[in-house]
Chains A and B, each alone.
Chain A
Amino acid sequence: MFTNTLFLLSAVLTLGGAAAVVYTKNLMHSCVYLLASLFGVAGLYACIGADFLAATQLVVYAGGVVILMLFAVMLTGGSGNNINRYGLEKITAMGNTKTFFMAGLTAVVTSLVILKILASVFKSHSATVLTANEATVDKLGTLLATDHILAFEISSVLLLGALVGAAVISRPRKEKHD
């Protein structure tokens, strides 16, 4: 019962957040709605026993990525920057008519494709029995340190590279010929 309630809440939060990200005009608000959506995804993780993933999702996204986004929005002058220069804001929250039309078209095509694939899944897995949840942290730790050690190490190098790269790219440079 609790699990079902959590699942429903999380699903509503996720979908509502995503829709708000699409819909919202203000970029700052978009970020906050994204945070809500990510929280919902964390709840969805928790519903099927992925406790460590749910925690990671909260920590990394809520604590890291979204804060980073907000910083970026603020550093670049917020959402009002050059807002009408390209004829934006004609349609709520979107760029302009053309991009809205194209995005809708793409969404319909993609939906058709994905739904076509999902149709078979819905038919075959409709009666899957949910197994009991158990703690995954120790097993995940073991797996990461044994079977997936190489990927683990590579991802650590990747993170380091991304860290250094982001610092180098965004570093303000002096013009050489001033």
Chain B
Amino acid sequence: MISLGSYLAISFALFISGIIVMIARKNIIAMLLGIELILNASALNFVAYTKFSNNNLDGHIMSLFIIVIAAAEAAVGLGIVIRFFQLRESIHIDDAATLQN
């Protein structure tokens, strides 16, 4: 039951969910949620492979760094969102279609 295949299937489902959220949602924060899902899917892949394939801890370390990066990304991304909201009174992604003004 606990096998590489099942883990990869779960991670695949997470990944697809993330992609759908990123493309379909028009809310910037919702898109950030999708990114979190995708990052989790990849981290899960690392851990599963390191357990079932070579049984050392390198995958864990990689997942740790992914978590770190996800945290940093969330902080900066949300900062940008808040700033954007201050400027535009909106968090709709189509309001961010221009580079200037």
Binding site for B on A (CB under 8 A): 3-4, 7-8, 11, 14-15, 18-19, 21-22, 27, 30-31, 34, 37-38, 41, 44-45, 47-50, 52-53, 56-57, 60-61, 64-65, 68-69, 71-73, 75-77, 79, 81-82, 85-86, 88, 94-96, 99-100, 102-104, 106-107, 110-111, 114-115, 118, 121-122, 125-126, 128, 130-131, 136, 139-140, 143-144, 148, 151, 155, 158-159, 161-163, 165-170, 172
Interchain pairs with CB closer than 8 A, number: 226
> Which of chain B's residues has its CB closest to A118's CB?
B8
A18 near B37 with CB under 8 A, answer yes
**Bound Cα distance A158, B64 (Å):** 14
Interface of chain A, main secondary structure? helix
B20 near A130 with CB under 8 A, answer no
Set of chain A residues within 8 Å of B79, measured between Cβ atoms:
165-170
Of the candidates B1, B19, B25, B33, the one whose C-beta lies within 8 Å of that of A106 is B19
**Bound Cα distance A61, B37 (Å):** 11
14 contacts between A and B (CB under 8 A): A65-B74, A68-B78, A72-B29, A76-B81, A76-B82, A77-B85, A79-B27, A81-B90, A86-B92, A99-B24, A99-B26, A110-B15, A121-B8, A140-B57
